[in-house]
Every structure is written in structure tokens, then in C-alpha cells.
């Protein structure tokens, strides 16, 4: 797995079909990447972002077996995701949210965040904490960012990016009448139409491609 293609594995899987095991030893990055991560953190703090480094999940390997998906993870510095470390393979969860009418929950990320500032994204996203199960991380982020508990959840894909990030992508469906309450990581939110072709201009190509993958 020296390089990560855009789509590593395709579901859908039920939440109990996605499992993980953690190695105890942390990942040791290259000294140059450590220095780059330190510099990236310093820049964030200079612009007022309260980013605190710590350990989060790194993808060591994955396997599709018995109709499910198994991930092998280990601790790695969170800040390596800031410098596009292909060796770190930092893992994030992304939980796309749709309401009972099929509309998509979109939020504009606040300017103080570490990445994607001012851009519109789908649902909830975040790092997987050490010894946390990725599906549990997905549910946690959904509750923290939007105060939502889904009526149904499927895990749709494991996807890589050219700079080495790995995303476990889920789809949450809400019960009729459920309301999203945004946290301070978003300064605006909206419900975009079920038909992606009718989305507003602030929906960029990245989120449109993600929706197209999930439809």
C-alpha cells in the first residue's frame, strides 16, 4: 500500500461490519515531517486557531473480509495531517447527513479551524482518537457538531486522497422532524436539495463528487 487510490474499498456496510484493531506502538514519522508538523502548528497558533497536537489514528492496513471491512490502526501525531504526509495515512471519519426528505446537511467551516476554513462541507468530520472505534468516532462527531443521532447509518466507503489522508465515509439518515444544531466549528449551515444538480453555487466540485459517489 505505498500509494492510496481515491477509492480503497466500497460498501455499503452496516456499522457492526466495520471493525478495527489498534497497535500499541506509535508511528514514528520522518524527522523532516516532524519538523514540518511543528511549523504548521506554530502557524495555526499565530492566526489564533486553538489547535492542540496529540495522537490520532493512522491506517496501517485494511482488509475486506466476511462481507465487512477491517482496519488496522496505530497512534500517530494528529498534526501530520497538516503537512500532507503520505506515510502517516492519517484517518478521518466523514458522516454525510440526509434528512427524511433526502436533503443534504451542509455547513460552512469557521475561519479559526485548521483546514477547509470558509468552505462548505457535508455533514460531520473529524479524527479518530486513540483506541476509539471509527464508527464510534463517526457517531461522536455527529453528536458534537450537530447534536444529531441518526435513525439509520451505513458505512459507504474507505477513500484516500493524493496527500495521504484516509476517510471512512458514512451516510446518516435522520428521522422526520430531527433538527440540526450547529457547533462553533460552523458559522452557517443549510439543507441542500436532494437533487445535486440543484445545489447552490457554494457547493464546490469536491462535495459534489462526494455526493455523486454516495447516491
Q: Are 104 and 54 in contact (CB under 8 A)?
A: no
136: preceding bond cis by omega (within 30 degrees): no
The three cell numbers of residue 32 are 523532516
Going residue by residue through the chain, which has 215 residues, state the pLDDT in tens, using 9 for 90 and above: 334 457 899 999 999 999 999 999 999 999 999 999 999 888 888 877 766 789 999 999 999 999 999 999 999 999 998 888 788 899 999 999 999 999 999 999 998 777 778 899 999 999 999 999 999 999 999 999 999 999 999 999 999 887 889 999 999 999 999 999 999 999 999 999 999 999 999 999 989 988 988 87
- Reduce the DSSP state of residue 134 to 3 states and report it: helix
Burial of 213 (0-12, 13-18, 19+ CB in 10 A): middle
Q: Could you give the angle at the alpha carbon of 150 between the alpha carbons of 144 and 153, nearest 5°?
A: 110
Q: Are 70 and 63 in contact (CB under 8 A)?
A: yes
The pLDDT of residue 83: 87
pLDDT score recorded for residue 21: 98
Q: Which residues pair with 65 in a beta bridge?
A: 68
Domain ranges within the chain, ordered by starting residue: 7-214
Q: Exposed, middle or buried by CB within 10 Å (0-12, 13-18, 19+), for 177? A: exposed
- What CATH code is assigned to 7-214? 3.90.79.10
- Residue 1: its pLDDT value, please? 36
State the pLDDT at residue 3. 42
Beta bridge partners, 121, equal 107
- Cell digits of residue 100: 427524511
181 backbone φψ class: left, alpha, beta (φ>0; ψ -120 to 50)? beta
pLDDT for 212 equals 86
Check if the beta carbon of residue 94 is closer than 8 Å to that of residue 122.
Answer: yes
pTM: 0.91
Amino acid at each position: 500500500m505505498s500509494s492510496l487510490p481515491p477509492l480503497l474499498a466500497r460498501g455499503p456496510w452496516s456499522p457492526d461490519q466495520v471493525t478495527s484493531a489498534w497497535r500499541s506502538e506509535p508511528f514514528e514519522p520522518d524527522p523532516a515531517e516532524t519538523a514540518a508538523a511543528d511549523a504548521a502548528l506554530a502557524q495555526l497558533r499565530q492566526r489564533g486557531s486553538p489547535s492542540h497536537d496529540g495522537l490520532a489514528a493512522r491506517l496501517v492496513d485494511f482488509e475486506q473480509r466476511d462481507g465487512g471491512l477491517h482496519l488496522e490502526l496505530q497512534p500517530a501525531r494528529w498534526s501530520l495531517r497538516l503537512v500532507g504526509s503520505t506515510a502517516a495515512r492519517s484517518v478521518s471519519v466523514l458522516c454525510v447527513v440526509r434528512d427524511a426528505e433526502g436533503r443534504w446537511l451542509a455547513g460552512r467551516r469557521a475561519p479559526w479551524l485548521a483546514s477547509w476554513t470558509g468552505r462548505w462541507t457535508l455533514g460531520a468530520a473529524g479524527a479518530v482518537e486513540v483506541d476509539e472505534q471509527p464508527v464510534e468516532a463517526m457517531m461522536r462527531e455527529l453528536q458534537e457538531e450537530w447534536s444529531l443521532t441518526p435513525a439509520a447509518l451505513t458505512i459507504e466507503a474507505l477513500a484516500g486522497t493524493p496527500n495521504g489522508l484516509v476517510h471512512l465515509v458514512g451516510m446518516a439518515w435522520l428521522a422526520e422532524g430531527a433538527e440540526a444544531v450547529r457547533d462553533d466549528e460552523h458559522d452557517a449551515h443549510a439543507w441542500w436539495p436532494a437533487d445535486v444538480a440543484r445545489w447552490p453555487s457554494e457547493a464546490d466540485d469536491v462535495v459534489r463528487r462526494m455526493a455523486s459517489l454516495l447516491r
